[in-house]
Amino acid sequence: MNIKTVKALIFKELKQIRRDASSILVAFIMPLTLLVIFGYGLSFDIKHIRIDIVQQDSGKLSKDLVDLYSHSEYFTTNVVTSTQEAKGNMESGKTMGTIIIPENFSEKAQRGQKAEIQIISDGTDPNTATYIEAYAQGLFNKYLLSLKPELKNKTINIINRLWFNPTTESIHFLMAGALTMILAIVGTFLTSLVVAKEWERGTMEAMIATPISVNEIIVSKIVPYFGLCIVSLAFSLLYGKFAFNMPFEGSILSMGLVSSAFILVSLIVGLIVSTLAKNQFVAGMMAVMVTFLPTMMLSGFVFEIKSMPIWLQAFSYVFPAKYFVSSIRTICLVGDIWEVILQDTIVLSIMALVLYKFLKKKLRKNVE
Amino acid sequence: MIEIKNLTKRFNNGIITALDNISCQIESNKITGFIGPDGAGKTTLLRILAGILTPNTGEIEISGQTLDIYEKGNSDFLSIHELQKMTSYMPQKFGLYEDLTVMENLELYAQLQRLEGNGKQQAFENVLQMTKLANFTNRLAGNLSGGMKQKLGLACALLKKPKILILDEPSVGVDPISRRDLIGMVNSMLDEDTTVLWSTAYLDEAENLDYVILLNEGKVIFQGNPKEAIDKVKGRVYVFSDVTRDKRKFASHLLKVDGVIDSVIAGKNIKILTNGRSIQEITSDLQDIKEPRSALPIFEDACIDILGGMAEKESPVLQYIDDVKFSAIDANVVEAIHLTKRFGDFIAVNDISFGVKPGRIFGLLGPNGSGKSTTFRMLCGLLRQNSGTAKIAGIDIADMGSDAKMNIGYMAQKFSLYSMLSVRQNLDFFSGAYRLSGKERQNAVKSMIEIFHFGDIQNINAGVLSLGFKQRLALACAIMHKPPVLFLDEPTSGVDPITRKEFWMHINAMVSRGMSVVVTTHFMDEAENCDEIALVYRGKMRAMGSPDELKEICNNEENPTLEKAFIKIVEVADQNEQFTKTFKE
């Protein structure tokens, strides 16, 4: 391997990255967009559900209850006086549920009698309906507790139901997946496009007709994009930390180790894709098929792998994203658990090695 | 010296034979031209010689040493790596990095060719001086003109003086002046130690080369000095000058005379090629004509002779197309009025106006990127102009309904038929699309199959046809509804010389029936068929007139040709622009 040649090619690549707006777009703007989408859009906590409260009782206790609901972040409330109005709002889709506080509610409660409220939710969206039911009931139990602390022991089981949706922000959990996705895309998608572009424009043809070796070609493509991926990762981590208060319990060392292995795999997959496709459009489609979709579906990032059929679970072991998601979650949320991190890094490194062998076999200095 | 022995290369699991048992010799100290239409096998052969494609069978010897082309690792053989050390290869798409500057491209290729130190600086000075690119070293390669890009590509290939220089279509899409410069650059570096391979689809380029290998459909059909080939047809070319009677009818009549194997319209002259029969015998039956004068043959005449002359003596299209009658004989059939088209800041077409009279061929000429295709697309309504009007038969294209569009036939530059449908299915589809029905439709399809000889291939998918047949099919689909106005966008680019002649025979036949044709081309000899030519360069109309009128521009030269006129016009335009630029500064 001629170091000077490789250096010249790496500098060439860096110049191209700097001048080509689209690589900057893929490396920085896209991670930003993904983080924002995952950060705000794909939260599993449903908040600010619009409901009506029909307040038929005018006592102090019922006012307290209305306050409790309207100050909850789960609901955006609107107090109406008639059941008819609330029904109309639900029918027209303005609200997803209604809470009715019946007459004599305060009176009954004060007397220590059984005071009840009615929770109605829109069954056309069963998911949201379940949330409304659970949140509303939970808040009501909390309210009852504050009225009569001695009831605590009796209501404890209901409190458990309230917490079925952990207050642990799901966003931190998703962020790990988002980081994986970003690296997979920057690594595989970007490299496959740039190499396919070289085939399309004929520059690759000119290059392979020179005495350059296959290793020199591969190294000169991997080094600059490896750097770009690291920068993109650091940028994403910092953004996650400051914008979403994402925890980072582990060390930079562990993060660097497992990320390097994963980035290598992604870059090599990108080079393989573009060697097979040699056309930007097909290469782009292939890159999405082999990285984006499996990362989304089979890495355990959104969908729990344990709840999949056995054969699909087995299949998920093929995808590098699965190992990276596991490590990055551990590093961010738990800390340096070396057992997990080393195991994932080793698996990823073996993958990189096998894929590199395959790439060397496929990327011949030949136009066919 | 390179010797090629029985080289065969097949693609797509053997369905397509790109090189069919080719043997030839390439000597050093010469430019060897690989000449042939697209798909003849030129690129395949050059890629094999550059060591980036493996043939199926055959051998290559370089200076007596066998090339290890199948990479068996035999130590007696010359390895691909060694071959690539002494070779410079410039692929068809130049291989330039468009987002790097001229200098950065040179630096990169210098490093790829392991060029360092003083030698590098010397090489840079050399090539920059030769290409006249010294003033543009900081410009991005993507912002250079086509000719400059080609020169830079060549410069990159010439940095390290190669023993073997392989240039794949270096002159394609390059204006005639840059073409001359390129050949000059290559000639200046020739010596005993250098072998140059130059491929081209232009037959006229052969005359500037020392040795040519003529390829057609993967076979070598001629190899030798082009002058030898031309000598063979010496004394067999005659020109009838100042033809007063209908030149198209006369040209087609001449072709039918026994002994004439080609007849070409060149402005107001007609050139014929004989099979050796004496001119007295040929002209004995012709009445009231001026005595033809003997003319010097060109390489194309030699090729036509090698290929056996024109197979058909008269275009069968004549029987298919009926006479077209226009109500107003003097009105323009096609009219461009102050057409202007901008793409962002770039003015692709700048205030172009002209008119096409019925029964005429109007040619739009210009180098790639000059704006001729853009003008053409606005004329047939495929592109909306920023200002100006395009009219067909007096109707503004913008207001044209689909009924009026039935008057137009259009053949696109790129193959735009359905490649997964068979020849017959394509014809069926387009006959329906042009609203032919019943007997008329059946007759149209049947006639097209007969006229263009689709009989044996009518059930083959259009996508796998040879380029010549693809173009024929495209023409068939454009004329089957007998349109009075026909638009042809580079109809003959990349087809073999005989098919090209055949195309012009058909076009001339249609025009003699009264159809009007607007055609774009960059073949100067084809432009001679036109009644009127508009020369477009850098978005502006630079000259307009009949071929003979345009040749007047360079009448101070001894043998005025359209090409020389063209070079002159472009030079003047460039000078003027340079002047205006300097003036403004």
Q: Are B39 and B217 in contact (CB under 8 A)?
A: yes
| pLDDT tens digits, one per residue of A320-362 | 988 998 898 888 888 888 999 999 999 999 999 999 999 998 8
Residue in A12, A201, A209 nearest the CB of B108: A12
Residue in B96, B99, B166 nearest the CB of A20: B99
Question: Residue A203: closest CA among chain B residues belongs to which residue?
Answer: B95
Q: Percentage of chain A with pLDDT > 90?
A: 23
Of residues B299 and A169, more confidence is placed in: B299
Cβ-based neighbours of A19, under 8 Å, separated by 6 or more: B99
Asked whether residue B413 is assigned to any structural domain, the reply reads: no
Mutant choice from A12, A18, A213, A214 vs B, greatest count of B C-beta within 10 A: A12
pLDDT at residue A154 greater than cutoff 50: no
Residues B103 and B194 in one domain: yes
The two structure tokens encoding residue B210: 């020392």
Q: Could you tell me which residues are beta bridge partners of residue B340? A: B387
Residues B356 and B467 in one domain: no
SS3 A61: helix
pLDDT of res. A221? 93
A202 to B92: CB separation less than 8 angstroms, yes or no: yes
| Distance of residue A211 Cα from the nearest chain B Cα, in angstroms | 5
Q: Are A63 and A270 in contact (CB under 8 A)?
A: no
Tell whether B16 is within 8 A of chain A (Cβ): no
Q: How far apart are CA A51 and CA A238, in angstroms?
A: 37
Tell whether B154 is within 8 A of chain A (Cβ): no
Q: Could you tell me which residues are beta bridge partners of residue B35? A: B200, B214
Give the confidence band of A155 by pLDDT, cuts at 50, 70, 90: very low
Mean of per-residue pLDDT scores for chain A: 83
Nearest to A359 by CA among A190, A258, A207, A214: A214
Q: How far apart are CA B59 and CA B421, in angstroms?
A: 38
Residues B20 and B110 in one domain: yes
Mutant choice from B44, B79, B105, B111 vs A, greatest count of A C-beta within 10 A: B111
Nearest to B154 by CA among B185, B115, B194: B185
Chain B positions touching A201 (Cβ under 8 A) are 93, 95-98
Residue in A9, A12, A368 nearest the CB of B53: A368
Q: How far apart are CA B333 and CA B470, in angstroms?
A: 29
A8 to B91: CB separation less than 8 angstroms, yes or no: no
Residues B65 and B163 in one domain: yes
Tell whether B461 is within 8 A of chain A (Cβ): no
| Distance of residue A281 Cα from the nearest chain B Cα, in angstroms | 19
> Which amino acid, residue A23?
S
Asked whether residue B433 is assigned to any structural domain, the reply reads: yes
Residues B345 and B392 in one domain: yes
Asked whether residue B70 is assigned to any structural domain, the reply reads: yes
Cβ-based neighbours of A23, under 8 Å, separated by 6 or more: A16, A17, A190, A194, A228
Domain that holds residue B59: 2-225
**Helices B102-112, B117-131: crossing angle, 10 deg rounding:** 130
Dihedrals phi, psi of B24, to nearest 5 degrees: -165, 165
pLDDT at residue A163 greater than cutoff 70: no
Q: Domain boundary at B314, B342, B359, which? A: B314
pLDDT at residue A164 greater than cutoff 50: no
Give the Å distances, CA to CA, from A187 to A223, A226, B383: 11, 8, 39
What is the rounded end-to-end Cα distance, in angstroms, of chain A? 24
Q: Are B538 and B370 in contact (CB under 8 A)?
A: yes
Residues B47 and B175 in one domain: yes
B87 to A12: CB separation less than 8 angstroms, yes or no: no
pLDDT of res. B422? 92
Classify residue A21 by burial, with Cβ atoms within 10 Å: 0-12, 13-18, 19+: exposed
| Distance of residue B44 Cα from the nearest chain A Cα, in angstroms | 10
Rounded CA Rg of chain A: 28
The two structure tokens encoding residue B313: 């003596």
Q: Are B260 and B272 in contact (CB under 8 A)?
A: yes
Nearest to A228 by CA among A186, A175, A288, A184: A186
Chain B positions touching A22 (Cβ under 8 A) are none
List the CATH number of the domain containing B278: 3.30.70
B81 to A211: CB separation less than 8 angstroms, yes or no: yes
| pLDDT tens digits, one per residue of A275-293 | 888 888 999 899 888 888 8
CA angle, B293 then B299 then B305, to 5°: 80
| Distance of residue B157 Cα from the nearest chain A Cα, in angstroms | 9
Q: Could you tell me which residues are beta bridge partners of residue A268? A: none
pLDDT of res. B421? 92
Residues B105 and B182 in one domain: yes
pLDDT at residue A116 greater than cutoff 70: yes
Residue in A12, A20, A206 nearest the CB of B91: A206
Q: Which segments of chain A are extended strands (E)?
A: 49-55, 75-80, 97-101, 118-121
Residue in B99, B107, B112 nearest the CB of A210: B112
Interface of A with B in 167-226 (CB under 8 A): 201-203, 205-212
Q: Could you tell me which residues are beta bridge partners of residue A64? A: none
B99 to A205: CB separation less than 8 angstroms, yes or no: no
Classify residue A109 by burial, with Cβ atoms within 10 Å: 0-12, 13-18, 19+: buried
| Distance of residue A198 Cα from the nearest chain B Cα, in angstroms | 9
Residue in B47, B85, B108 nearest the CB of A8: B108
Tell whether B399 is within 8 A of chain A (Cβ): no
3-state helix, strand, coil in chain A (%, to 5): 70, 5, 20
B113 to A211: CB separation less than 8 angstroms, yes or no: yes
Q: How far apart are CA A33 and CA A178, in angstroms?
A: 10
Chain A positions touching B81 (Cβ under 8 A) are 211
Asked whether residue B412 is assigned to any structural domain, the reply reads: no
Return the H-helix or E-strand segment holding B467. Answer: helix B467-479
Classify residue A210 by burial, with Cβ atoms within 10 Å: 0-12, 13-18, 19+: buried
Chain A positions touching B111 (Cβ under 8 A) are 4-5, 8-9
Give the Å distances, CA to CA, from B479 to B9, B15, B451, B467: 37, 31, 12, 19
pLDDT at residue A148 greater than cutoff 80: no
DSSP letters, B239-297, are EE-S--S-HHHHHHHHHHSTTEEEEEEETTEEEEEESS--HHHHHTT--S-PPPEE---
The two structure tokens encoding residue B118: 């003083």
Please determine, for the modelled complex, whether the ipTM score is greater than 0.95: no
Question: Residue A364: closest CA among chain B residues belongs to which residue?
Answer: B52
The two structure tokens encoding residue B92: 């068809």
Question: pLDDT (tens digit, 0 to 9) for every residue of chain B, 585 residues total?
Answer: 899 999 999 987 777 788 999 999 999 888 999 998 777 889 999 999 999 999 999 999 999 899 999 988 888 899 999 999 999 999 987 788 988 999 999 999 998 888 888 888 988 998 898 888 888 889 898 888 777 888 899 899 888 889 999 999 888 767 677 788 888 888 888 888 899 999 988 888 888 888 999 998 889 989 999 999 999 999 999 999 888 778 888 888 888 888 899 998 888 889 999 998 888 888 887 776 778 899 999 888 998 888 888 878 888 888 888 887 765 556 888 999 999 999 888 888 999 999 998 889 999 988 777 888 889 889 888 889 999 999 888 888 888 877 778 888 999 887 788 888 999 999 999 999 988 989 999 999 999 999 999 988 888 888 878 778 888 999 999 999 999 999 999 888 777 788 888 899 999 999 988 899 999 987 888 899 999 999 998 889 999 999 989 888 877 777 788 888 888 888 888 888 777 766 665
Of residues B295 and A156, more confidence is placed in: B295
Q: How far is C-alpha B499 from the chain's CA centre?
A: 12
Residues B163 and B292 in one domain: no
Residues B474 and B438 in one domain: yes
Question: Residue B55: closest CA among chain A residues belongs to which residue?
Answer: A368
Asked whether residue B239 is assigned to any structural domain, the reply reads: yes
B93 to A202: CB separation less than 8 angstroms, yes or no: yes
pLDDT of res. B585? 56
Tell whether A14 is within 8 A of chain B (Cβ): no
Asked whether residue B428 is assigned to any structural domain, the reply reads: yes
CA-based max dimension of chain B: 79
| Domain count of the fold of chain B | 4
Cβ-based neighbours of B330, under 8 Å, separated by 6 or more: B357
Tell whether B100 is within 8 A of chain A (Cβ): yes
Chain B positions touching A9 (Cβ under 8 A) are 108, 111-112
Give the confidence band of A313 by pLDDT, cuts at 50, 70, 90: confident
Number of Cβ atoms within 10 Å of the Cβ of B66: 15
pLDDT of res. A47? 73
Residue in B47, B100, B113 nearest the CB of A12: B100
SS3 B572: helix
Mutant choice from B112, B154, B158 vs A, greatest count of A C-beta within 10 A: B112
pLDDT of res. A157? 34
List the CATH number of the domain containing B220: 3.40.50.300
Domains of chain A are: 3-42+169-362 (no CATH), 49-162 (3.40.1710.10)
| Distance of residue A357 Cα from the nearest chain B Cα, in angstroms | 19
Q: Domain boundary at B209, B225, B241, which? A: B225
B51 to A365: CB separation less than 8 angstroms, yes or no: yes
The two structure tokens encoding residue B346: 């770039």
| Distance of residue A7 Cα from the nearest chain B Cα, in angstroms | 9
Return the H-helix or E-strand segment holding A283. Answer: helix A280-287
Tell me, what DSSP letter sits at residue B323? P
Asked whether residue B407 is assigned to any structural domain, the reply reads: no
Dihedrals phi, psi of B483, to nearest 5 degrees: -75, 140
Instruction: Compute the Cα dihedral for A267, A270, A274, A275 and give only its sign.
Output: positive
Asked whether residue B574 is assigned to any structural domain, the reply reads: yes
Tell whether B304 is within 8 A of chain A (Cβ): no
Residues B9 and B80 in one domain: yes
Residues B214 and B123 in one domain: yes
Give the confidence band of A55 by pLDDT, cuts at 50, 70, 90: confident
pLDDT of res. B173? 66
Mutant choice from B52, B138, B150 vs A, greatest count of A C-beta within 10 A: B52
Chain A positions touching B166 (Cβ under 8 A) are 209
Q: Domain boundary at B281, B314, B347, which? A: B314
A205 to B85: CB separation less than 8 angstroms, yes or no: no
| pLDDT tens digits, one per residue of A180-220 | 888 888 889 888 988 898 988 889 999 999 889 999 999 99
Tell whether B107 is within 8 A of chain A (Cβ): yes
Residue in A5, A203, A366 nearest the CB of B53: A366
Nearest to B310 by CA among B322, B301, B323, B319: B301
Torsion, Cα B241 B244 B248 B254, to 10 degrees, reads -60
Tell whether B51 is within 8 A of chain A (Cβ): yes
Residues B287 and B352 in one domain: no
Chain B positions touching A203 (Cβ under 8 A) are 95-97
List b or e across B520-554, with b for residues whose CB sees 16 or more CB atoms inside 10 angstroms: bbbbbbbbbbbbbbbbbbbbbbbbbeebeebbebb
Q: Are A321 and A348 in contact (CB under 8 A)?
A: no
Q: How far apart are CA B462 and CA B423, in angstroms?
A: 5
CA-based max dimension of chain A: 95
Q: How far apart are CA B508 and CA B255, in angstroms?
A: 13
Return the H-helix or E-strand segment holding B118. Answer: helix B117-131
| pLDDT tens digits, one per residue of A57-79 | 888 888 888 888 888 888 888 88
Question: Residue A199: closest CA among chain B residues belongs to which residue?
Answer: B95
